[in-house]
Amino acid sequence: MTVTILPFIQAQITRYGMSTLVILGNIGNILIIILFYQRRKNSCAMYLLCVAILNSASLTCTSVINVYALDYGDPTARSLFFCKLRLYVTHIWNQSSRYLTVLACIDRYMWTRDDAHTRFMNRSSTSRYLAAIVILFWHIFPIHIAVLATINNGKCSEFGVYYVIYQVYSAISLGLIPPISMSIFGFLAYRNMEKLHLRVRPIGNNGDHNGRIHHRDRDLLLMVLTEVVVYVLTTIPYPFILLEIAVTNYMSVIKSAERAEIENFLNSITLTLFYLTNGSPFYTYFAVSKAFRKDCKTLFMRWRNRAVRPLTMNQIPRARQLQI
C-alpha cells in the first residue's frame, strides 16, 4: 500500500513524459540523421550522426518497455535471455553515444588548434575509424552485464555485491568521465576558437575567406558545447542516486516505506532526465545554430515541393480537358 502520492506521480511521468519524449525525440533524431548524413564527410557531423542513431535506438527501446511495464509488467523479467539482452544492449547504445560525443568535443578542439599535425583527427576516415573503435569497445567491455545480470523476485537487474559494483562503475563511466572530458575539451575548443577569431578578423574581409574559421564548423562547435551543457545538467544525478540506493541496500539500512517511495521517485525522475539527453539534441541544435535552422528550412521546403509537384501535375490534364 502506498504511503505517499509519489508512486502515482511517478507512473504518470513515465506514461506521459516518456511517451512524449520518445515521439518528439525520434522525430528530432531522424531529422538529425537526414541532415548530417548529407554532411557525413565532416568528422564532427559524422560523430553526431552516429550519436543520433544510437540515441534513437536506446530511447525507443527503453521508453516502450517502461510504458508497457506500467500496465502489463516488465516483459524482460519473464525471460532471462531477454533480461540480459536488454540491459547489455541498451548499455552499449548509451555508453557509445556518450563517448562519441566526447570524440566530437575532441574533434572540435583539434579543429581549433593552430597545428597542422593534429588536423588528421578532423579527417572523415579518422572519424569513422575512431567511431568504430568506440562502438566495438563498448560491445566488449561491459560483457559482465550479460553474464551477471539476472532475474530475482520478478525483477530484471543486478543483485548482491555486483549491484553495488555496477553502480560504482556506472557513476564513474557515466557520471564522471564523460562530463569531465566533454567539459575540458569543450572549454579548450571554445577558448581556441576565440583566439583564432581575434587573430583572423583583422587580416581581411572575413575569416571564412582564408579558410581558418568556417561558419558551419563554428556552428558545429556551438552545437556540441550546448549538448555538453545539457548532458551535464541532466545525466550526472542519475548514477549517483542509483549509487546511494545500492550502497544503503547492500548495507541493509532499514528504510521506511516513505523513504523507499522517495528513492523510487527520485530514481524515476533522474532516469527521465537521463533519457532527455537522447531526445533533446535536435531541439538544442535548432535553438543555437542559425545554419542548422537554415538546413532544416531547406529540407522542409524540399519535402513540400515534392509533395506539391504531383498534385500540380495531376491538375494539368484536368485543366486541358476543361478547355476542350
DSSP string, 54-67: HHHHHHHHHHHHHH
Nearest to 148 by CA among 134, 132, 131, 165: 165
User: In this predicted structure, what is the pLDDT of residue 205?
Assistant: 42
- Please give the average per-residue pLDDT across 209-235, as a whole number: 78
Q: The C-alpha cell of 229 is what?
A: 551543457
Give the pLDDT mean for 302-318. Answer: 70
Looking at 31-45, 215-229, 289-303, which range is the least confident one?
215-229
- Torsion angle in degrees (nearest 10) through CA of 205, 206, 207, 208: -130
> Could you tell me the three cell numbers for 141?
567491455
- Using the predicted structure, report yes or no on whether residue 193 has a pLDDT greater than 90: no
Q: What is the pLDDT of residues 75-134, one digit of tens each?
A: 999 999 999 999 999 999 999 999 999 999 999 898 888 676 677 778 888 899 999 999
The overall average pLDDT reported for the chain is 85
Map out the domains of the chain as residue ranges.
6-309
Q: Give residue 254's region: left, alpha or beta (phi > 0; psi -120 to 50).
A: beta
Q: How far apart are CA 8 and CA 259, in angstroms?
A: 15
Residue 317: the pLDDT is 57
CA distance 290 to 207: 18
- pLDDT of 175 strictly over 90: no
Bridge partners (DSSP) of residue 152 are 155
pLDDT at 322 over 50: no
How high is the pLDDT of residue 214?
66
Is residue 255 within 8 Å of 244, Cβ to Cβ? no
According to the model, what pLDDT value does residue 1 have? 56
Which CATH number applies to 6-309?
A: 1.20.1070.10
Higher pLDDT among residues 281 and 322, named by residue: 281
Output the pTM of the full model.
0.86
